[in-house]
């Protein structure tokens, strides 16, 4: 998961940086801006959130931005890493950045790439050279070779372009006003810039924007089924974003409403409070509280200056970071039955810690409700859950997970209620049911299974061509 931004039309760089901040939740490892003046592309990148990017007080008419969440390569730790891993990248006349994961990067190229955005930039440049600078032909060649998820935005010879892979895994929307065109991972960026949302880029569609709001649309590749990542709605996207005509807030609210029905069927003792794990699960907790007629209380508070802590590599570090993430309103807990709502359980670290913290503070009972069904399979398309070993639900039954996290009950969303709540038929649910929509990802899965896949290596970084 990453955030991408593209602007065509004179715009101050400091304001572009402000827009990029609206995508900070999509990647807090590092961020970058690139702008073109004359024919020259300049970039500025920083570890952490976009507010740390230094930009001069000028405007540019072609700007790209990127927030990075590392799902290939390593976490950024130095200036050198910024150059190697963080978009936007520039190669000759072409600059681009992307969100998603290419699954077959190592098997289709003899060159070694540290990062898949760089791989796409180099591949696309080759394709452009072979096709006399024709973007649609270059993208046709790219899409026919590359397997995986990629929503990308770039500039080429004064034009802004946007492309979404034929499955449409990752979001990408655009809008135009008289003065400017904006492409972004989420519609909130357009709202902030005062540009009306026009629509999502269609899966397999290439859009080329020129001055004065001109737009050409090319259907590069058509897949019969689209595979929008359901986890965007559950966790990644901002609740104020509209993706595929669905307001993410509304989806999360509906997820809570159906989860409340599942809770009722379990005939558990009535809770005193519904309590969200901040921030993602707030709308779902609100809906559960309303449906169950139980008050919602925010007794778990987040240390908001701590970034997303998921991507630390050792369990010890993860435990320590998880502990510093939340504060509790102690006097609201003693003797109470508490229904906690979170968006997902991955390793179980957060759930186990929260249940223990509430019980330590005297909670009579703790029920744990999860708006996402059990994630039993790794994702190869850019959620950082790439190995079986880091998914507790891949090896453990629900009752045993409840025992592990020491909850008095564990209430999981079901796959069909999830799909209904999102309101789209064309979803990628591979991490729930193992049905990978692309061929190379299926091959990765099969080969890993043959090898007895329990490695903690990031699966998609292995070279399966050997
Ligand atoms: P865990 O503690 O390993 O069970 O992870 C679950 C917590 O991490 C939940 O509170 C989620 O909000 C959050 N989470 C789930 N998936 C991701 C992800 N891919 N990246 C970052 N955070 C995540």
Q: Quick one: CA torsion of 381, 384, 390, 392, rounded to 10 degrees?
A: -80
Has residue 87 got a pLDDT over 60?
yes
Could you tell me the distance, in angstroms and rounded to a whole number, from the CA of residue 306 to the centre of ligand 1?
14
What's the DSSP call for residue 311?
T
SS3 state of residue 298: coil
Decide: 202 and 174 in contact? Cβ < 8 Å: no
Ligand 1 binding pocket includes 415 (Cβ within 6 Å): no
Unique residue bearing structure tokens 């590069």: 220
Q: Quick one: how many helices (H) and strands (E) in the chain? A: 16, 23
3-226 and 247-425 share one fold: no
DSSP string covering 408-428: SEEEEPPHHHHHHHHT-S-EE
Say how many Å lie between the CA of residue 310 and the centre of ligand 1.
Answer: 6
State the CB neighbour count (10 A cutoff) for residue 450. Answer: 8
Give yes or no for residue 235 CB within 6 A of ligand 1: yes
Report residue 307's pLDDT band, with 50, 70 and 90 as the boundaries: low
Report how far ligand 1's centroid is from the alpha carbon of 384 (Å): 9
Residue 253's pLDDT is what? 98
Q: What is the pLDDT of residues 321-379, one digit of tens each?
A: 777 789 999 999 999 999 999 999 999 999 999 999 999 999 999 999 999 999 999 99
**In 96-173, alpha helices (H):** 105-108, 116-130, 135-145
pLDDT computed for residue 35 by the predictor: 98
Query: For residue 348, what pLDDT is reported?
Result: 95
342 Cβ closer than 6 Å to some ligand 1 atom: yes
Which two tokens mark 301?
């508070």
Concerning whether 2 is annotated as a catalytic residue, the answer is yes
Confidence category of residue 464, pLDDT binned at 50, 70, 90: very low
Q: What are the angstrom distances between the C-alpha of 81 and each of 46, 70, 87, 157, 445?
A: 10, 12, 11, 28, 30
Cα 165–229–311 angle (5° rounding)? 105
Residue 112 pLDDT grade (very low, low, confident, very high; cuts 50, 70, 90): confident
Using pLDDT thresholds of 50, 70 and 90, give the confidence band for residue 448: confident
Tell me which H or E stretch contains 217.
Answer: strand 215-219
Q: 216: closest CA among 154, 140, 161, 143?
A: 161
d(CA 136, CA 163): 10
Average confidence (pLDDT) over 52-70: 94
Mean pLDDT taken over the chain: 91
The full set of domain ranges for the chain reads 3-226, 247-425
Residue-wise pLDDT tens digits, 16-48: 999 999 999 999 889 999 999 998 999 999 998
Question: Given this model, what pLDDT does residue 462 score?
Answer: 45
- Residue 28 pLDDT: 86
Q: Report the top-level CATH class of 247-425.
A: alpha beta
The pLDDT score that the predictor gives to residue 460 is 41
384 vs 120, residue with greater confidence: 120
Q: What is the pLDDT of residues 91-111, one digit of tens each?
A: 999 999 999 999 888 787 777
User: Is the CB of residue 7 below 6 angstroms from any atom belonging to ligand 1?
Assistant: no
Check pLDDT > 50 for residue 159: yes
pLDDT at residue 72 greater than cutoff 80 = no
Say which CATH topology domain 3-226 has. Answer: 3.60.20
């Amino acid at each position: 998961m990453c955030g991408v931004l593209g602007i065509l039309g004179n715009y101050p760089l400091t304001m572009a940086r402000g827009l990029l901040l609206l995508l900070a939740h999509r990647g807090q490892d590092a961020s970058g801006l690139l702008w073109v003046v004359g024919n020259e592309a300049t970039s500025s990148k920083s570890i952490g959130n976009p507010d740390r990017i230094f930009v001069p007080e000028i405007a540019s008419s072609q700007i790209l931005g990127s927030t990075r969440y590392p799902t290939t390569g390593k976490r950024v730790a130095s200036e050198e890493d910024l150059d190697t891993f963080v978009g936007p990248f520039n190669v000759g006349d072409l600059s681009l950045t992307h969100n998603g994961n290419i699954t077959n990067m190592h098997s289709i190229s003899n060159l070694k790439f540290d990062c898949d955005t760089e791989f796409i930039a180099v591949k696309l440049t080759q394709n452009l050279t072979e096709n006399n600078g024709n973007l649609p032909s270059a993208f046709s060649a790219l899409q026919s070779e590359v397997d995986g998820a990629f929503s990308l935005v770039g500039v080429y010879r004064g034009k802004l372009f946007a492309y979404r892979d034929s499955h449409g895994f990752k979001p990408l929307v655009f809008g135009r006003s008289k003065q400017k065109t904006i492409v972004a991972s989420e519609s909130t960026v357009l709202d902030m810039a005062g540009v009306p949302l026009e629509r999502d880029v269609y899966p397999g569609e290439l859009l080329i924007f020129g001055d004065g709001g001109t737009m050409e649309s090319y259907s590069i590749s058509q897949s019969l089924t689209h595979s929008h990542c359901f986890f965007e709605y559950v966790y990644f996207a901002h609740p104020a974003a509209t993706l595929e005509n669905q307001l993410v807030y509304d989806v999360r609210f509906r997820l809570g409403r159906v989860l409340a029905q599942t809770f009722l069927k379990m005939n558990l003792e009535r809770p005193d409070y519904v309590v969200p794990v901040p921030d993602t699960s707030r709308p779902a907790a609100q809906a559960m509280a309303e449906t169950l007629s139980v008050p919602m209380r925010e007794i778990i508070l987040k240390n908001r200056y701590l970034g997303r802590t998921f991507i630390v590599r050792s369990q010890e570090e993860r435990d320590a970071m998880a502990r510093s993430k939340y504060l509790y309103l102690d006097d609201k807990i003693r003797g109470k039955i508490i229904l906690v709502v979170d968006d997902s359980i991955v390793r179980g670290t957060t759930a186990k810690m929260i249940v223990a913290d509430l019980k330590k503070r005297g909670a009579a009972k703790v029920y744990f409700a999860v708006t996402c069904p059990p994630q039993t399979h790794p994702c190869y398309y850019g959620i950082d859950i790439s190995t079986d070993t880091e998914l507790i639900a891949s090896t453990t039954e629900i009752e045993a997970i409840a025992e592990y996290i020491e909850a008095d009950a564990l209430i999981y969303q079901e796959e069909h209620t999830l799909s209904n709540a999102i309101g789209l038929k064309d979803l990628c649910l591979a991490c729930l049911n193992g049905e990978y929509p692309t061929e190379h990802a299926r091959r990765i899965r099969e080969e890993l299974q043959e090898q007895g896949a329990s490695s903690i290596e990031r699966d998609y970084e292995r070279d399966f061509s050997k």
